[in-house]
Amino acid sequence: MLNLDRLRALSAIARHGSVSAAAEGLHVTTSAVSQQIAKLERETGQQLLAKNGRGIRLTDAGRLLADHAARILSQVELAQAELEAHRGRPVGELRMGAFPTAVRGLFPTALAALRAEHPKLRPRLHEMEPDDSVRGVVRGDLDVAVVLDWYNRPLSLPDGLAKAPLLDDPSDVAMPSDHPLAGRQFVELEEFADDEWISWPRAEFCHDWLMFTLRSKGVEPRIAHMAEEHQTQLALIAAGVGIAVSPRLGRGPVPEGVSVVPVRHPMRRHVYAIWRADADRRPSIRAAVAELRKAAEAVDAVDAGRAMGDGQPPSGGGG
């Protein structure tokens, strides 16, 4: 019996041309891909990869099995989607992943609606960073994920995934209320060249984005503190120990002693749902994406209403 995870690794090598590129596409380590191929070779009794200069190539047997693997994996996904579509309604378990502020800002509304409208559907939500969510969807560990990228730093998605835009999430600069720029209607990032920043942890997508964006504005970041949760960042800002980029989705009330000011050239995160394209017909996925879109529309409406009501950036959103 051929193992689907091993076939998925071989198919990725055929698509991407190398073990390292396949690992990147699958969001796993090169060692993990190599181990899967070694096991597949033992199971089939065939050499599937051969050295080719400093790289590798598929053997004839490898190309033959890779072609079959692509069709097998597609058929497995289609079979699952067809079975659910045949039932005609969302039922069973639906595994979902999302980054923290999407969990806080979108999912309470979306999950409550799914529970009310589709009582036989069992959504299971896991909070995780976007890269982990993408990996989960590609592997089949997740059915739907909510991920993000930034206006100037798109997130690369592997082939075979479908996506639906949910909302554009504006970000402000959060600073102590006694900061010289706290009373401004708008600010420019260049004006914070001498400030100390509070960032997300190193190696996280948003930390890399912050470094890239500040440096593109001629500002060498001075990172004083790192905190993953936005509410923790705001608490540090209230204590007067730094400033931070503060997205609005899921942000909640801003603590006393903190001011948030929009950037003149808006910084926005693009938030969207992703799933495997072969599962597009599953009613449960369609229902989940529809409810996430409704939740996102409600966030947009509240954000716009607050802005019109007091002429200031709303305190809700971001994460």
What is the crossing angle of helices 107-117 and 283-310, to 10°?
140
pLDDT, one tens digit per residue, over 76-133 is 777 777 776 667 788 888 999 999 999 999 999 999 999 999 998 999 999 998 988 9
**280: CB partners within 8 A, 6+ apart:** 81, 162
Task: Say yes or no to pLDDT of 226 above 80.
Answer: yes
Q: Tell me the C-alpha distance between 296 and 275, whole Å.
A: 18
Cα separation, 91 vs 123, in Å, equals 9
What pLDDT score does 317 carry?
34
Residue 279: which pLDDT band, with cuts at 50, 70 and 90?
confident
Question: What does pLDDT average to over the chain?
Answer: 89
Give per-residue pLDDT as tens, 146-180.
999 999 988 888 888 999 999 999 999 999 999 99
| Residue 315: per-residue pLDDT | 40
pLDDT score at 86: 61
Question: Which pLDDT value is given to residue 307?
Answer: 57
- Please give the C-alpha separations between residue 53 and each of 21, 47, 117, 262, in angstroms, as whole numbers: 17, 17, 58, 53
Nearest to 192 by CA among 200, 182, 201: 182
